Amino acid sequence: MKQRSNEEWLVALRGPERDKAIRDLRAVIVRGLKVNFAGRVRGLDETAEDFAQDALIKVLNNLDSFRGESRFTTWVQRIAVRVAYTELRRKRWRDVSIQEVLERHEKSGRESDALRDRTSSPERETARKMMVETLQSFIAEELTERQREAMVAVMFEGMPLEEAARRMDTNRNALYKLLHDARKKLKKRIEAEGLSPGEVLEAIGEE
């Protein structure tokens, strides 16, 4: 396959050689994805082809955003890897219902990996864990069922917003608003208890 400079890639993808350039770029993406995800994804050959198609569409739709600060193929591979990770996360949650997430969270009786800070000292981690437990009790007492579902699924269990929204029969913006309102309720309760909102809400990513 012909090696192209950044400018040559852009010209080819916009000009009469577009079809050939797209085929070449797709091959570059597939090869890069196989290197990045080797040994970590089942059926990688077929999966890489699927991811490459999604990434290729995203690249072609965003050619104008390429600023030439790196090699064009490096920029493309970064996009492809992000697309692949997003799709892998989506597949992970595809067959999991909100109810299953809630039941697993309640049964586990522990915070998710997304909320655990392995770099802190034992004393600080113990104090932070107590804050998380306090926050969980506030969630159960203060939030509506729908707010609780959203908070547990997204903040505690790490479900992507898009997947949580789909399962809750809503859209991303509405779900974000639901989480925002839930945080406001929690902040009000935290302040009423004389606690520090900053320390408690740090556990769910609120600064």
Count of the separate structural domains present in the chain: 2
Domain termination site, one of 93, 109, 133: 93
Claim to verify: residue 55 and residue 41 sit in the same structural domain: yes
What CATH number did the domain enclosing 170 receive? 1.10.10.10
Contact present, 180 and 150 (Cβ < 8 Å): no
What residue ranges of the chain have pLDDT lower than 50? 109-120, 204-207
Claim to verify: residue 169 and residue 136 sit in the same structural domain: yes
Provide the token pair at 117.
């800070």
Close Cβ partners of 155 (under 8 Å, ≥ 6 residues apart): 114, 115, 179, 204, 205
Domain termination site, one of 65, 93, 121: 93
Claim to verify: residue 67 and residue 160 sit in the same structural domain: no
CB neighbours (10 Å) of residue 90? 14
The residue among 127, 131, 139 whose CA lies nearest residue 189 is 139
d(CA 185, CA 189): 6
Claim to verify: residue 57 and residue 39 sit in the same structural domain: yes
Q: What is the pLDDT of residue 94?
A: 56
Claim to verify: residue 82 and residue 123 sit in the same structural domain: no
**pTM (2 d.p.):** 0.49
* Burial classification of residue 43, based on how many CB atoms lie within 10 Å of its CB (0-12 exposed, 13-18 middle, 19 or more buried): exposed
What CATH number did the domain enclosing 63 receive? 1.10.1740.10
Provide the token pair at 201.
């809400």
Dihedral of the alpha carbons of 128, 131, 137, 138, in degrees to the nearest 10: -140
Domain termination site, one of 93, 108, 135: 93
Claim to verify: residue 108 and residue 86 sit in the same structural domain: no
In a domain, 48, yes or no: yes
The residue among 85, 52, 78 whose CA lies nearest residue 160 is 85
Q: What is the pLDDT of residue 38?
A: 79
- What are the pLDDT digits (tens) for 25-54? 999 999 998 888 877 666 677 788 888 999
Q: What is the pLDDT of residue 113?
A: 45
In a domain, 1, yes or no: no
In terms of residue numbers, what domain contains 102?
A: 98-204
Q: What is the pLDDT of residue 115?
A: 43
In a domain, 35, yes or no: yes
Q: What is the pLDDT of residue 125?
A: 60
The residue among 139, 131, 127, 129 whose CA lies nearest residue 183 is 139
The residue among 39, 36, 43 whose CA lies nearest residue 84 is 36
